[in-house]
Amino acid sequence: MQLKDIRALVAADLTAVDEEIRRQLASDVALVSQVGDYIIGAGGKRLRPLLVVLAARAAGATNSAHIPAAALIEFIHTATLLHDDVVDDSEKRRGRDTANEMFGNPASVLVGDFLYSRAFQMMAALDSPAVIRVMADATNTIAAGEVLQLMNSGDPDTTEVRYLEVIYRKTARLFEAGAQIAAIVAGAPPATEAAFARYGKHMGIAFQLIDDALDYRGDQAELGKNVGDDLAEGKPTLPLIHALRHGDAAAVTLIRAALEQGGTEDQAPILAVIESTGGLDYTARLAADEADRALEALAGVPASAYRDALGALARFAVTRNA
């Protein structure tokens, strides 16, 4: 099952999510609407809202509560991207200038804040204490993950354990929360809710591992961002951490200096070290293991086309090229 087939299965729901996103973006403050339209118009995979609607349908949803649930997850994700691009001084995302490049850092930060607060208004409208509890915990975890990543930035002594903690907090926690609240609004029993949360967690980790590998192996046109951005920003992701563990003394010196100083002047020789030490293959193996755990989490979910699509989505997360 290809991504287009997965989307086709819930096409009507996804259209409703897009309409809800645009409705909730409306503001009497012109700059909010302008920046919001720009970033939402950039498109993207929309994997998180796709996951929410699939999980809700797989959990037996009979109402439309999963539509605003999917939209609020996308709002939180977009807010984190706005803030990330300011922190990282990024210039490109999804093949276009970033919002901070177009509108400036202050506007990006403040519109990100608007999206966060709008998401919490949408949570409140769902009138579910369980949803609010899950999302409050998730957003706090994400914020702490941003700080952890900042602490790791430029630090060549970052361990694999510290790195994995960051990607769980920054990325996987939102996948986990999205799948969990889908089960909650669908009225699923606690065991099903827990299964979906596990699925989201492991799928999110797999997704981010591949994202970090693609930063060194991906096609820039397909990725929609500059290849090597992580190295330029001094981010010690798993391919680099693995190369530091297994490279010779000269390679270690080269990578340590690149992480500490940032920039891409030594990108070509560092890529060669990552390849020779098997850093990308090691990252891909860990991602495949996480995808397998996501599939295992679905074992207790009743069989349906939606459950099958969730399985296909986990496989897509580790086989994609962008």
* Residue 95: per-residue pLDDT: 67
Could you tell me if 156 and 255 are in contact, meaning their C-beta atoms sit under 8 angstroms apart? yes
Quote the CA–CA distance of 90 and 100 in Å, as a whole number.
8
Each residue's pLDDT tens digit, 221-266: 454 555 677 888 888 999 999 999 999 999 999 999 989 887 677 7
Least confident of 47-51, 83-87, 194-198: 83-87
The per-residue pLDDT for range 55-64, each reduced to its tens digit, is: 999 999 988 9
At residue 93, what are phi and psi to the nearest 5 degrees?
Answer: -155, 130
- Asked whether residue 43 carries a pLDDT value surpassing 80, the answer given is no
Task: Judge whether residue 87 has pLDDT over 90.
Answer: no
Q: How far is CA 295 from the centre of its chain?
A: 18
- 113-139: per-residue pLDDT in tens? 999 999 999 999 999 999 999 999 999
Q: What percent of the chain has pLDDT over 90?
A: 66
So what's the pLDDT on residue 147?
A: 92
The residue-averaged pLDDT of 197-226 equals: 82
pTM (predicted TM-score): 0.91
Q: Are 287 and 213 within 8 A, CB to CB? A: yes
Most confident of 16-25, 112-121, 177-186, 267-276: 177-186
What DSSP string describes 141-184? HHHHHHHHHHHHTT-TT--HHHHHHHHIIIIIHHHHHHHHHHHH
* 252/273 Cα distance (integer angstroms): 9
Would you say residue 220 has pLDDT above 70? no
**Mean confidence (pLDDT) of the chain:** 89
For residue 94, the model assigns a pLDDT of: 62
| Structural domains in the chain, sorted by start | 3-319 (1.10.600.10)
Contact between residue 322 and residue 222 where contact means Cβ atoms under 8 Å apart: yes
